[in-house]
Amino acid sequence: MTRRDLTAVPDLAHGRSWAGPARTRRPIYVDLLPPCNAACPAGENVQSWLSELEAGRDEQAWRALVEDNPFPAIEGRVCYHPCEGACNRAEVDEAVSIHAVERFLGDLAVERGWTFPVPPVRSGMRVLVVGAGPSGLSAAYHLARRGHDVEVRDAGAEPGGMMRYGIPAYRLPRHVLSAEIDRIAALGVRMVHGHHVEDLEAERRTGAFDAVFVAVGAHLAKRVDIPARDAGRILDALSFLRSVAAGEPPALGRRVAVYGGGDTAMDAARTARRLGADEALVVYRRTRAQMPAHDEEAASAEREGVRINWLRTVSAFDGPELTVEAMELDEHGAPHPTGRFEHLAADSLILALGEQTDTDFLRSVPGVVFDEDGTVEVSPSMMTGAPGVFAGGDMVPAERTVTVGVGHGRKAARHIDAWLRGADATGVPKHGPAGFDGLHLWYFGDFTRRAQPELAPAEAVADFSEVVGGLSAEEAGYEASRCLSCGNCFECDGCLGACPEDAVVKLGPGRRYRFDYDRCTGCATCFEQCPVHAIEMVPEPGTAGEHR
């Protein structure tokens, strides 16, 4: 509809007339789901805390972030940021560096000593958390903030699980890990270390726990039989990384081979380089496109001198020689042996073929059901078949990452809290997504993404110093300003200035706007200029097009 198409219609409310037929559509303000929020496994409201930081409210930004995730300094380093893969800004230039901003806020909180508020009222309910990894600690945090008494029991000497014993210090410095865990303990969460749970029912009963969340990590390495003259030269990657984290690295020799293609394989190879190996090679039976390791991990390993041998499988190890067989892919992309063998130099062999969870202590719990791969079946509320026993993290079918584990802990805590109170934990339905095609980006310029500093490869492999650095305060604020605020009004006044009928009413800072429908003609000018798709045109009530 254009202004030239309109006929005079009296405006009784304002004693004047405007041009136009009866209005068939009207604008409404909406809050669509930003793609970054939708993609975050931890359930963060990314757009909210980016907005707070852009406005210069550092602590408010951090507090908005930790409403969902207690580990911003950790996650900003180890998360593979699917939020950035979904970011609409990538359609324009580059995605917002969300993980780098998250890390900045986490590091700032550690530096300034920001703490979580202790809940003033206690529920009187006790919850046992088995496992002090990301999922268990996340659940403990969210339960403690709801006023429950939480005790975490873990077999490790220190809390953190795979964050401490599986992720090398050059990716996650231990002082950062400890600082964010200590903040959770300060809420009153009791941490019990060196405690291997063998009889869950007995521990629940003797401890008078009202509910249990089980989040034991995947600490058992998968094994494969490889003919070897000296089996002592074959290590599993998890034990290797754990010994290095404990300050007891094994002797590897000058040439180290790693068998596997996941992130753990990359960490093992990079760690071997830091322990003095002149050569570190990865043997993987498929192609790079099929490799489970994240691209950035494989690329970092190669920059540090790790060689990756694609389409190869280990047949025998007689150090200092490794025998591998070349593989070929069939029409379905599956690898098959060719009968062609090669010999590679290797003083030791590290197996990184996947991990399993030790769930034997749950086998005797009535109602708990296991899948064929040993993971535990849970309901949408994260509860197992045993009333009051919930599970998450590596124990349930899901991608095994820190961020997924944190999200499981958050979700489980919400449902555990509801179960304890006899309430319904059904959440409010999410809004529809804000896609790039719905944006009208007239207001932005060319803003190049800020890169994080990195150590040069030769310097990086010299020790376990952190390889990737953080953004400055100025850079973090700049990155936050690159957020397009997809789907949510940020009060740019575009609709206010564009409306030809003065039908948009500004309500004041932070209160957004409203439409005066006595003036509105439904011309959609406001909708067409709204840069972030915070306005939608809907059928006029009572018309044939109205959704019922």
Cβ burial of 426 (10 Å; 0-12, 13-18, 19+) is exposed
Please give the chain's pLDDT, 548 residues, in tens.
Answer: 332 233 333 343 343 444 456 788 999 999 999 999 999 999 999 999 999 999 999 999 999 999 999 999 999 999 999 999 999 999 999 999 999 999 999 999 999 999 999 999 999 999 999 999 999 999 999 999 999 999 999 999 999 999 999 999 999 999 999 999 999 999 999 999 999 998 899 999 999 999 999 999 776 667 777 766 666 689 999 999 999 999 999 999 999 999 999 999 999 999 999 999 999 999 999 999 899 999 999 999 999 999 999 999 999 998 788 999 999 998 888 999 999 999 999 999 999 987 777 777 888 889 999 888 778 999 999 999 999 999 999 888 888 899 999 999 999 999 999 999 998 877 777 788 999 999 998 766 668 899 999 999 999 999 999 999 999 999 999 999 999 999 999 999 999 999 999 999 999 998 999 999 999 999 999 999 999 999 999 998 876 555 43
- Supply the DSSP string of 19-79, one letter for each residue: E-S---EEEEE---B-HHHHH-TT---HHHHHHHHHTT-HHHHHHHHHTT-S-HHHHHHH-
If asked whether residues 334 and 269 sit together in one domain, one would say yes
If asked whether residues 252 and 313 sit together in one domain, one would say yes
Q: Quickly tell me which residue has 């202590």 as its tokens.
A: 361
Residue 362, pLDDT score: 86
Range of the domain at 81: 36-114+444-481
What is the CATH classification number for the domain harbouring 528?
A: 3.30.70.20
Whether residue 370 is contained in a domain is answered as: yes
CA atoms within 13 A on the CB side of 164: 23
Q: How many domains does the chain have?
A: 4
3-class SS of residue 17: strand
Whether residue 546 is contained in a domain is answered as: no
What is the CATH classification number for the domain harbouring 454?
A: 1.10.1060.10
Whether residue 257 is contained in a domain is answered as: yes
Distance (Å, whole) CA 396 – CA 399: 9
Joined together, the tokens standing for residue 212 give 């249990």
CB-based contact 83:77 (threshold 8 Å): no
If asked whether residues 167 and 316 sit together in one domain, one would say no
If asked whether residues 61 and 158 sit together in one domain, one would say no
If asked whether residues 458 and 499 sit together in one domain, one would say no
Boundary-marking domain end, from 454, 481, 508: 481
What is the CATH classification number for the domain harbouring 368?
A: 3.50.50.60
Q: Quickly tell me which residue has 């990737």 as its tokens.
A: 468
Residue 443, pLDDT score: 62
If asked whether residues 395 and 462 sit together in one domain, one would say no
pTM for the whole structure:
0.89
Whether residue 547 is contained in a domain is answered as: no
